[in-house]
């Protein structure tokens, strides 16, 4: 009975065609034009006022960038660490914040708060907190007898320190997505499992984890893309340093842009776009294929 009705709906649209014009204009002006323009400018030597077509030279040059490989590796590491930690911490926090604890509503706001703060502000604050000798973190560690590391000045640690701050800032969003997923799981499943002899830990692994899979897919996808594009936090905290040890593709592109190589940095953006597509499209296809089974 539902079928013929829904087919009729599909054929006869609810709104007149011109309703979609405003959205189409905005999309065209703000998205399509810049995208194609940047594709074009990536093939030119471009100084804002004049551009000269030079073919793929920008791309050759971009791939010859001495620290590009490290930037690529850093970008992928950063994206994997942050999305992995956001999944794990977001789910655990969501489980905690959907259980019967005191101050639940208040704690939910606390967890979400960092999402609302400006990234640059967070970056500057944590740069101060992570100062090797005077930063609050190491001062606190010293009180319990631990010699805190040089969070942002040790080249093998800087990228990971920034990643931790990114997780701190972004985990609230993951938590909110997970909370929405968890409250949609009927309580009956947990009661049936309890009668089947399931401990709370077993219920988590056999019920909560598999049934929050749609939320997991959303969190992974969003935070992985966000991680690959990450720029502002890195720039605010390390500017890619020490040396080039925490450079990501986005920060490399920005440096080229700062140096006035507009065509080159535009080519870099095209490369970043392709990289994100190459990694994320198969990832979401994989995640959604498994999900479709339920």
Partner 1 sequence: MAGLELKAIQKSYGAVEVIKGVNLEISHGEFVVFVGPSGCGKSTLLRMIAGLEDISAGELWIAGKKCNHVEPRDRGIAMVFQSYALYPHMTVYENFGFGLKLAKTPKDVRDRKIRDAARILQMEHLLDRKPSQLSGGQRQRVAIGRAIVRQPEVFLFDEPLSNLDAALRVDMRMELANLHRDLGSTMIYVTHDQVEAMTLADKIVVLNGGVVQQVGSPIELYQRPENLFVAGFIGSPKMNFTEVTIDSINGGQVTVSGADIQPTELSADTTGLGEGDTVTLGTRPHDLLADASGNISGHVSLVERLGNETNVSLKLRSGATWLVVLDGDRELRHGQELQLGIEDQKAMIFDAAGQARHMA
Residue number with CB closer to partner 1 (142 or 191): 191
Residue number with CB closer to partner 1 (185 or 279): 185
Shortest Cβ distance from residue 189 to partner 1 (Å)? 6
Shortest Cβ distance from residue 213 to partner 1 (Å)? 8
Residue number with CB closer to partner 1 (114 or 214): 214
DSSP 36-95: HHHHHHTTEEE-SS-EEE-TTHHHHHHHH-TTHHHHHHHHHHHHHHHHHHHHHHHHHHHH
Shortest Cβ distance from residue 202 to partner 1 (Å)? 6
219 contact partners, CB below 8 Å, separation of at least 6: 83, 86, 87, 90, 174, 177, 178
Shortest Cβ distance from residue 293 to partner 1 (Å)? 8
Task: Evaluate whether 126 touches 234 at the Cβ level (below 8 Å).
Answer: no
Shortest Cβ distance from residue 21 to partner 1 (Å)? 41
Residue number with CB closer to partner 1 (74 or 212): 212
| 242 upstream amide cis, omega within 30 of 0 | yes
Shortest Cβ distance from residue 294 to partner 1 (Å)? 6
d(CA 264, CA 247): 17
Residue number with CB closer to partner 1 (211 or 280): 211
Burial group, residue 34, by CB count within 10 angstroms (0-12, 13-18, 19+): exposed
Residue number with CB closer to partner 1 (147 or 294): 294
Q: Which of 236, 245, 222 is nearest to 73 (CA)?
A: 245
- Supply the Cα-derived Rg of the chain in whole angstroms: 24
Residue number with CB closer to partner 1 (8 or 195): 195
Which residue ranges make up the site for partner 1 (CB under 8 A)? 186, 188-189, 191-198, 202, 206-207, 210-211, 293-294
By three-state DSSP, how is residue 123 classified? helix
d(CA 157, CA 282): 30
Shortest Cβ distance from residue 42 to partner 1 (Å)? 46
d(CA 237, CA 122): 9
Place of tokens 């992995």: 84
DSSP 262-283: HHHHHHHHHHHHHHHHHHHHHH
Residue number with CB closer to partner 1 (121 or 210): 210
Shortest Cβ distance from residue 186 to partner 1 (Å)? 7
């Amino acid at each position: 009975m539902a079928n013929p009705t829904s087919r009729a709906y599909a054929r006869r649209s609810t709104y007149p065609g011109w309703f979609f014009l405003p959205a189409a204009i905005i999309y065209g002006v703000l998205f399509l034009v810049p995208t194609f323009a940047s594709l074009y400018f990536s093939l030119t030597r471009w100084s804002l006022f004049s551009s000269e077509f030079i073919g793929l030279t920008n791309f050759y040059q971009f791939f010859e960038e001495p620290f590009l490989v490290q930037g690529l590796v850093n970008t992928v590491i950063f994206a994997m660490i942050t999305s992995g930690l956001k999944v794990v911490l977001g789910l655990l926090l969501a489980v905690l914040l959907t259980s019967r604890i005191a101050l639940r509503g208040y704690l939910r706001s606390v967890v979400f708060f960092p999402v609302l703060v400006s990234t640059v502000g967070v970056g500057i604050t944590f740069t101060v907190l992570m100062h090797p000798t005077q930063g609050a973190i190491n001062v606190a560690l010293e009180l319990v007898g631990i010699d805190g590391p040089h969070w942002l000045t040790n080249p093998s640690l800087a990228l990971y320190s920034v990643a931790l701050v990114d997780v701190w800032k972004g985990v609230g969003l993951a938590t909110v997505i997970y909370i929405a997923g968890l409250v949609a799981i009927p309580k009956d499943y947990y009661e049936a499992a309890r009668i089947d002899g399931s401990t709370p830990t077993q219920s988590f692994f056999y019920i909560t984890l598999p049934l929050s899979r749609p939320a997991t897919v959303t969190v992974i996808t969003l935070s992985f893309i966000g991680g690959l594009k990450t720029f502002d936090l890195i720039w605010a905290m390390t500017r890619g340093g020490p040396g080039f040890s925490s450079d990501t593709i986005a920060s490399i592109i920005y440096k080229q842009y700062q140096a006035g190589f507009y065509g080159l940095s535009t080519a870099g953006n095209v490369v970043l776009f392709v990289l994100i597509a190459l990694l994320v499209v198969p990832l979401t296809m994989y995640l959604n294929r498994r999900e479709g089974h339920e």
